[in-house]
Structure 1
Amino acid sequence: MIIPVDRLDADTLDAIIDEFILREGTDYGLQECSHQQKARQIKEQLLTGRLVVVFSEAHETVNIMLAEQFQQGYAE
């Protein structure tokens, strides 16, 4: 189930983004980004709809994923 970003408290959204960044681990991109830069990039993608916040009822967890990945059936 997608959780609309505009329905989340700003602190809650920031916590979800921070947890996602920490869980995803090392950045192997061409340029390393700071935690703050990554958080800003993820938030922008959430606001544009490229990424979505997803709640798994089966696992009672929250995750961030590509919107197209969610639409392709990776949702529960």
Structure 2
Amino acid sequence: MIIPFEQLDKDTLYNLIESYVLREGTDYGEVEASIESKVNQVKLQLKNGEAMVFFSELHESVTIISKGEFKALQSEEHQAEAFD
């Protein structure tokens, strides 16, 4: 389920984004950027619709995913429904 990021408390959103950018494997290119810079990049992606806040009912967790990841999840759900 998509959660509009605008509905989240400012501190909650910041903490969610910070957690996201601190995950191992998050790649921002050859030049290392500051955490604040990374947070601002993700905020911009949320505003532009390139990323979204996603709540997984299955895992009871909230994360940030790209638009492409969301489309892949929808496709997986659609395929799973076809086999039910």
TM-score normalised by structure 2 residue count: 0.78
Percent sequence identity over aligned pairs: 47
Structure 1 runs (4+) deviating above 4 angstroms are 25-28
Q: Which has the larger radius of gyration?
A: 2
Q: Counterpart in 2 of 1:45?
A: 45
Shift of 1:71: 1.9
Aligned residue pairs total 76
Shift of 1:73: 2.3
Shift of 1:31: 1.2
Determine which structure has greater relative contact order: mean sequence separation of CA pairs < 8 Å that are 6+ residues apart, divided by chain length.
1
Q: Counterpart in 2 of 1:7?
A: 7
Q: Encode CA deviations 1:23-46: one digit per residue, 9 max, x unaligned.
A: 235646221101010000000100
TM-score normalised by structure 1 residue count: 0.85
